[in-house]
Amino acid sequence: MGRTDIGPPDYRDMLPPVIKKNYGKWKYHETIRPGVLRHVSESGDEVYTVRTGSPRLLSVDFIRDICDVADKYCDGYLRFTSRYNIEFMTDKKANVDALIEELKRLGLPVGGTGNAISNIVHTQGWIHCHSAATDASGLVKAIMDELYDYFTSMKLPAYVRIAVACCINMCGAVHCSDLAIVGVHRRPPKIDHEKVLAQCEIPTTIQSCPTGAIRRHPDPNVKSVVVREDLCMYCANCFTVCPAMPLADPEGDGVAIYAGGKVSNARKPPMFSRMVVPFLPNNPPRWPEVVNVIKKIVEVYASHAKKYERMGEWIERIGWEKFFKLTDIPFTEQHIDDFTHAVETYRTTTQFKW
Amino acid sequence: MSDETPLLDELEKGPWPSYVTQIKRAAKKKKAAKDLLGIQELSYKDRVTHWKHGGIVGVTGYGSGVIGRYCDQPEKFPDAAQFHTMRINHPAGWFYNTKSLREICDTWEQYGSGLTNFHGSTGDIILLGTTTENLQPCFDALTEKGYDLGGSGSALRTITGCVGQARCEWSNFDTLNLVYDLTMEFQDEIHRPRWPYKFKIKASGCPNDCVAAIARADFTIIGTWRDSLRIDQTAIRNYVDNGFEIKTLVVDKCPSGALEWDDRTKELKLNAEDCVRCMHCINKMPKAIRPGTDCGATILVGGKAPIIKGAYLSWVLIPFIKVEPPYEEIKDLLRKIWDFWDENGRTRERLAELIERVGLKNFLKEIGIPPVPQMVYKPRANPYVYF
Ligand code: HEM
Ligand code: HEM
Ligand code: HEM
Ligand code: HEM
Ligand code: SF4
Ligand code: SF4
Ligand code: SF4
Ligand code: SF4
Residues of B whose CB is below 8 A from A7: 89, 148, 180, 183-184, 187
Please check whether residue B131 lies inside any domain of the structure.
Answer: yes
Dump pLDDT digits (tens) for A124-163.
999 999 889 999 999 999 999 999 999 999 999 999 999 9
CB of A57 within 8 A of CB of A22? no
Work out the average pLDDT over A307-314.
Answer: 97
Q: How far apart are CA B151 and CA B146, in angstroms?
A: 17
What's the mean per-residue pLDDT of chain A?
Answer: 94
Residues of B whose CB is below 8 A from A253: 47-48
DSSP conformation letters of B295-347: EEEEEEE--B-STTT--BPPEEEEEEE---TT-HHHHHHHHHHHHHHHHHPPT
pLDDT of residue A18 exceeding 90, the answer is yes
CB contact under 8 A, A248 and B102: no
Please check whether residue B373 lies inside any domain of the structure.
Answer: no
Gyration radius from chain B CA atoms: 25
B301 CA distance to ligand 2 centroid (A)? 21
CB of A93 within 8 A of CB of A158? no
Instruction: Kindly give the residue spans of alpha helices, DSSP state H, lying in A92-236.
Output: 95-105, 137-152, 193-199, 202-208
What is the number of the ligand 6 atom nearest to the C-alpha of A214? 5
Q: How far apart are CA B337 and CA B343, in angstroms?
A: 10
Dump pLDDT digits (tens) for A211-254.
999 999 999 999 999 999 999 999 998 998 899 999 999 999 99
Check whether residue B177 and residue B204 sit in a common domain.
yes
Residues 6 or more apart whose CB falls under 8 angstroms from that of A333 comprise: none
pLDDT of residue A1 exceeding 70, the answer is no
Check whether residue B343 and residue B215 sit in a common domain.
yes
Q: Which residues line ligand 2 (CB under 6 A)?
A: A 123-124, 128-129, 169, 171, 240; B 53-54, 67, 85, 117, 120-122, 126, 157, 200, 305, 307
pLDDT of residue A172: 62
Residue B355 domain boundaries: 160-226+294-367
Nearest CB to A272 within list B222, B283, B311: B311
What is the number of the ligand 1 atom nearest to the C-alpha of A259? 1
Is B378 an interface residue toward A (CB < 8 Å)? no
Work out the average pLDDT over A171-186.
Answer: 88
Q: What percent of chain A has a predicted confidence (pLDDT) above 70?
A: 98
Please check whether residue B379 lies inside any domain of the structure.
Answer: no
| Closest chain A residue by Cα to residue B254 | A267
pLDDT of residue A171: 66
Strands B115-118 and B70-71: unpaired
Output the domain CATH number for residue B69: 3.30.70.2500
Instruction: For residue B271, count other CB atoms closer than 10 A to its CB.
Output: 12
Candidates A23, A7, A80, A20; CA nearest to B181 is A7
Nearest CA-CA distance, residue B359 and chain A, Å:
16
Is B128 an interface residue toward A (CB < 8 Å)? yes
Output the domain CATH number for residue B246: 3.30.70.20
Q: What is the DSSP letter of A131?
A: T
Nearest CA-CA distance, residue B213 and chain A, Å:
8
pLDDT of residue B2: 58
Residues of B whose CB is below 8 A from A84: 117-119
Domain final residue, candidates B144, B175, B199: B144
Please check whether residue B12 lies inside any domain of the structure.
Answer: no
How many domains does chain B contain in total? 3
Candidates B24, B19, B15; CA nearest to A150 is B15
Check whether residue B186 and residue B310 sit in a common domain.
yes
Check whether residue B218 and residue B271 sit in a common domain.
no
Work out the average pLDDT over A315-333.
Answer: 96
Dump pLDDT digits (tens) for A267-306.
999 999 999 999 999 999 999 999 999 999 999 999 999 9
Please check whether residue B3 lies inside any domain of the structure.
Answer: no
Q: How far apart are CA B162 and CA B196, in angstroms?
A: 27
> Closest Cα to atom 30, ligand 4: which residue?
B381
Give Cα B245 to chain centroid, integer Å.
35
ipTM surpasses cut 0.85 = yes
pLDDT of residue B1: 47
Domain final residue, candidates B266, B290, B314: B290
Output the domain CATH number for residue B332: 3.30.413.10
CB of A176 within 8 A of CB of A259? no
Q: How far apart are CA A58 and CA B384, in angstroms?
A: 56
DSSP conformation letters of B29-82: T-HHHHHHHHHHHHHHHHTS--EEPP-----TT-SSSEE--EES-TTT-GGGSB
Check whether residue B80 and residue B128 sit in a common domain.
yes
CB contact under 8 A, B163 and A79: yes
pLDDT of residue A175 exceeding 80, the answer is yes
Among B122, B179, B198, B348, say which to mutate for ligand 2: greatest number of ligand atoms within 8 Å of CB. Answer: B122
Is A233 an interface residue toward B (CB < 8 Å)? no
Is B111 an interface residue toward A (CB < 8 Å)? no
CB contact under 8 A, B94 and A81: yes
Which amino acid is it at A57? L
Please check whether residue B386 lies inside any domain of the structure.
Answer: no
Torsion over CA: B8, B12, B16, B22 (sign): positive
Flag residues of chain B having pLDDT under 50. Answer: 1
Q: How far apart are CA A218 and CA B2, in angstroms?
A: 46
Please check whether residue B272 lies inside any domain of the structure.
Answer: yes
Check whether residue B270 and residue B304 sit in a common domain.
no
Please check whether residue B151 lies inside any domain of the structure.
Answer: no
- Cα angle B317, B318, B321; round to 5: 155
Is B87 an interface residue toward A (CB < 8 Å)? no
Residues for chain A: how many in total?
354
Ligand closest to Cα of A204 equals: 6
From residue B6, give the alpha-carbon distance in Å to each of A201, A284, A290, B23, B42. Answer: 42, 11, 21, 15, 11
